[in-house]
Amino acid sequence: MSDIAPLATVQHRFCAWLTEPDEDRAAELAQALHVGPGLVVYQNNYRVALIDALRETHLRAAAWLGEAAFAAAAARHIDAHPPTRWTIDAYGTGFPEGLRATDPVAVDLATIDRAIGDAFVAADAMPAEATALAAVDWERAAIRPVPSLALIPVETNADAIWLALVAETAVPQPCALPGTVLVWRQGFEPVMRRGDPLECRILRRSLDGTAFATICEDLADEGDPEQVVTRAGTALGRWLGESMIAGFD
In angstroms, what is the minimal distance from the CB of 61 to other proteins?
A: 20
Q: Closest CB to other proteins among 43 and 102?
A: 43
In angstroms, what is the minimal distance from the CB of 88 to other proteins?
A: 4
Report the amino acid identity of residue 101.
Answer: A
Q: How far apart are CA 66 and CA 165, in angstroms?
A: 13
Q: Closest CB to other proteins among 174 and 190?
A: 190
Footprint of other proteins on this chain (CB under 8 A)? 1-4, 6-8, 10-12, 14-15, 18-19, 33-42, 45-46, 49-50, 53, 82-89, 91, 119-124, 147, 185, 188
In angstroms, what is the minimal distance from the CB of 14 to other proteins?
A: 7
Q: Closest CB to other proteins among 123 and 170?
A: 123
The edge-to-edge listing of strands for the beta sheet with 189-195 is 150-156, 176-186, 189-195
Q: How far apart are CA 208 and CA 201, in angstroms?
A: 11
In angstroms, what is the minimal distance from the CB of 75 to other proteins?
A: 16
Q: Which of 190, 162, 166, 192 is nearest to 180 (CA)?
A: 192
Q: How far apart are CA 158 and CA 151, in angstroms?
A: 14
Q: Closest CB to other proteins among 49 and 69?
A: 49
Q: Closest CB to other proteins among 186 and 210?
A: 186
In angstroms, what is the minimal distance from the CB of 228 to other proteins?
A: 34
